[in-house]
Amino acid sequence: MQRRYIFFDIDGTLKAGGYDNAYIPESTIKALELLRAKGHFLAIATGRSEAMAREYKEQLGFENMVSDGGYGVTINGELLGIKPLDKALIVDLIDECERYGMPWALQVDNSDTRLAPDSRFEEFTHDIYMKTRVVEGLDPRNFDTLYKAYAACYAPEEQRLETLKRLPWCRFLDEYIFVEPADKAHGVRRVLDHFGACYKDAIVFGDGINDLSMFVDEWTKVAMGNACDELKAVADMVTTDVDKDGIWNACKALGLF
């Protein structure tokens, strides 16, 4: 069987149930086992930081991963590095948040914890996605690397932030926006180039708006049944929902096992 290079988003693709009741469907676990048995190359492709995706990577037996929205790459279990966001732009963004009184937070390292200058971000969002630690006097200018930023506001308040026009960002939750890398295709290409693989042999699975960045014509694109309409519109295949054997059904339809 021809070896394929298969990349899976986590939330809404490998993982069902949302943040509160997260689980990996049994059919997905069995599909991954069969794909490995057939000799296919498997990798995660997520917007999550490497540190926050590591649990799923290890739980599901992945050795390779595109993390941080395409800016982080792990090969054979080794993190090769994470490219930070443009520091000057993040500084400008935080200055805007301050002017408009928007609570904000930063991710300055590869961890499960973001930093905030006060308690307002947590009080506004009541977020459980990751930990938030208050650091008095927090200033983005004091850090060499800035990986992600967060601004707490309801839509469409973020439109007041002019700097967002020059930064990648997405809204996954009602209470705040994520300012983070959004070029998963960049990370997928880095992995494929590392192994000398043909781009046409790659298959990507996704569901969210941030997966649009890896739904390019260079390879096969599979959208989950629960995917956003924008992703389904450019997909080569739309499978069933993540919790309705979506991964399994797509792999069978593609003749991967």
Question: DSSP states of 2-13 as a string?
Answer: ---EEEE-TBTT
Whether residue 140 contacts residue 94, with contact meaning beta carbons closer than 8 Å, is answered with yes
Whether residue 100 contacts residue 160, with contact meaning beta carbons closer than 8 Å, is answered with yes
- What percent of the chain lies above the pLDDT cut of 90? 97
Residue 1 pLDDT > 80: no
What is the per-residue pLDDT across 145-187, written as a single tens digit (0 to 9) for each?
A: 999 999 999 999 999 999 999 999 999 999 999 999 999 999 9
Whether residue 56 contacts residue 14, with contact meaning beta carbons closer than 8 Å, is answered with yes
Handedness of CA 195, 186, 47, 85 (dihedral sign): positive
How far apart, in Å, are the Cα atoms of 109 and each of 46, 112, 131, 149? Answer: 17, 9, 13, 12
Confidence of residue 21 (pLDDT cuts 50, 70, 90): confident
* pLDDT recorded at residue 20: 76
Please name each of the domains of the chain with its CATH number: 5-83+182-253 (3.40.50.1000), 87-179 (3.30.1240.10)
pTM, two decimals, is 0.93
Question: Could you tell me which residues are beta bridge partners of residue 133?
Answer: 115
> b or e along 7-44 (b: 16 or more beta carbons within 10 Å of the residue's beta carbon)?
bbbbbbbbbbeeeeeeebbebbbebbeebeeeebbbbb
* pLDDT recorded at residue 129: 87
